[in-house]
Chain A
């Protein structure tokens, strides 16, 4: 009898916790909200369908810095990402490559690579941000640089897998990340604007 009452009370704690979590999550701002079920990397965020088939690389730009960087970093449809060195990341920056910041929004606001867009992999609006990126008319084979906090940070790799899942097959991971970029004195910016 006593054991049954204990089990019932424990079940009540678990159930009340689930209810509180649901309410708190529904009321939280997007930055602090989570989807209850995390979609697996390599699946399209919008549809939940398996990864889109690799697209055929578009024609390379004929000339200019963008042409040089695009020629240097060819698409790799069989791999979600390839690592790049800080010098290569900087070359892509000078060539006008797209940089994506996978860190939390607050870290992005505190400072990011100039021109980088914020796509935090641990926040609830990740799928919406990916969808927005996927819907933009841009060459899917153009190089994209993903970065996070360096060290053992894996957020940029996770972001690269998500991007690969929506058919962007030229994602390059700058593993040394923002601390390295900042240390080298390369352009950074603070605030919500890229």
Chain B
């Protein structure tokens, strides 16, 4: 194992990545939990889910984000929480990329579920930035998996 990979898999880094990723998910979940109708409106704007399923997604998804985030911050069921976070990030990247391809300017609804006055161009630029940001977060999930593989069956893992 070379010095770079040793450093990348170092517990000091892994703990900080885990807490940072968890905190981001918790911060993203709270506004959606506080105002589910506003988040349902955001999901509707993406034009991906069938109409009947939008409300259920708006109610359920933020709690998945919150619980996965809390599990990461607290170090509980880390591998499962990282898997859930990774799945959510893949879904977000897919949803935004699809709308970028359609040139349908949507507001991300990631950390703020209230509509902001923005031009079409500004929204499309923001969507590109969000895809890049989520891809970077996916790299953090990758770091957690890589470090976890390195210390498989570590005694501090709770579940």
Q: What is the interface of chain B mostly: helix, strand, loop, or mixed? A: helix
Q: Which of A61-93 contact B (CB under 8 A)?
A: none
Q: Is A6 an interface residue, CB under 8 A from the partner?
A: yes
Binary contact track A110-126/B, C-beta < 8 Å → 1, others 0: 00000000001011100
- Give the chain B neighbours of A12 by CB distance below 8 A: 77, 80
Is A21's beta carbon under 8 Å from chain B? yes
Nearest CB of A to B117, in Å: 7
**How many A-B pairs fall under 8 Å by CB?**
100
State whether B36 touches A34 (Cβ < 8 A). yes
Interface residue count on the B side (C-beta < 8 Å): 36
Assembled-state Cα–Cα distance A34/B61 (Å):
14
Q: Is the CB of B80 within 8 A of A6?
A: yes
The CA-CA distance from A158 to B60 in the complex, in Å, is: 23
Within 8 A of B (CB), among A29-65: 31-41
Is the CB–CB distance between B51 and A122 below 8 Å? no
In the bound complex, residues from chain A placing their C-beta under 8 Å from that of B84 are 10, 13-14
In Å, the complex CA distance between A41 and B50 comes to 12
* Chain B interfacial positions (CB closer than 8 Å to A): 33-38, 40-41, 51-56, 58-64, 66-68, 71, 77, 79-81, 83-84, 115, 117, 152-153, 159
Please name the 8 residue pairs, one residue from A and one from B, whose CB atoms are nearest each other, closest first.
Answer: A9-B80, A17-B63, A122-B37, A9-B77, A17-B64, A10-B80, A34-B55, A21-B59
